[in-house]
Amino acid sequence: MSKFSELINQDQPVLVDFYADWCGPCKMLAPILKQVKDELGAEVAILKIDVDKNQALASKYQVRGVPTMLLFKNGKQVWRQSGVLQKEEIIKVINTA
Catalytic (active-site) positions: 23, 26
Alpha-carbon distance 60 to 2, whole Å? 13
DSSP helix/strand/coil, 75: coil
Alpha-carbon distance 28 to 35, whole Å? 12
